[in-house]
Amino acid sequence: MHLSKTLVLRSREGSLVSKTTVDSEITQAVRKIVADAVSLWAIETSDFIVIRDLYPVSVKLPISKEQYDLYSKYDMSRTTNGSVMFNVPVYVISFDNEWQEDDYVDREVIVVAPVVDEKVEEIITELAIEATKPKEAEPDEELEEDE
């Protein structure tokens, strides 16, 4: 039996800080990373949150037998537009975050996902970067001039 690989991405304020692959099943990897991340937690100012999500990935057909074998582990289905869709489990560990008015903002996260293939890795990397991008400042209504 071959050991599964797990992708570990760390993102801070819209930039990828690190990207590693560990030789471990995702569940064991997540438990270890969560335990390690507790020491990074900004305990006075932030919540410590682990969110498990299924991230939908779509790949255009045709796919190779190898791709089929990889993707079929993740609840793969065929779509009507000539693609296959499958759901990759993604864990987001947030340890440096804050509330900004009604918005929850992650300054730094660790994203953990199974290594599937290069396409999935690109998608998950983009997800990790987007998760910590600073929110666009909306024009403040109070700055409008009085008439």
- Specify if 138 maps to a domain: no
- Specify if 98 maps to a domain: yes
CB 11 within 8 A of CB 20: no
Whether this prediction's pTM lies above 0.85 is answered by yes
**Choice among 37-51, 99-113, 126-140 with the minimum mean pLDDT:** 126-140
Higher pLDDT, 139 or 31: 31
Q: Supply the pLDDT for residue 1.
A: 42
Q: Supply the pLDDT for residue 134.
A: 86
- Specify if 41 maps to a domain: yes
**Total tally of structural domains belonging to the chain:** 1
Q: Supply the pLDDT for residue 101.
A: 85
- Specify if 142 maps to a domain: no
Q: Supply the pLDDT for residue 138.
A: 55
**Dihedral (CA of 2, 19, 27, 56) sign:** negative
Digit-coded pLDDT (tens) for 67-110: 999 999 999 999 999 999 999 999 999 999 998 888 889 999 99
CB 30 within 8 A of CB 118: no
Write out the residue range of the structural domain in which residue 64 sits.
6-131
Report the distance separating Cα 131 and Cα 146, nearest Å: 37
- Specify if 144 maps to a domain: no
What DSSP string describes 8-66? EEEEETTEEEEEEEEES-HHHHHHHHHHHHGGG--TTT---EEEEEEEEEEEESP--HH
Q: Supply the pLDDT for residue 100.
A: 85
- Specify if 140 maps to a domain: no
- Specify if 102 maps to a domain: yes
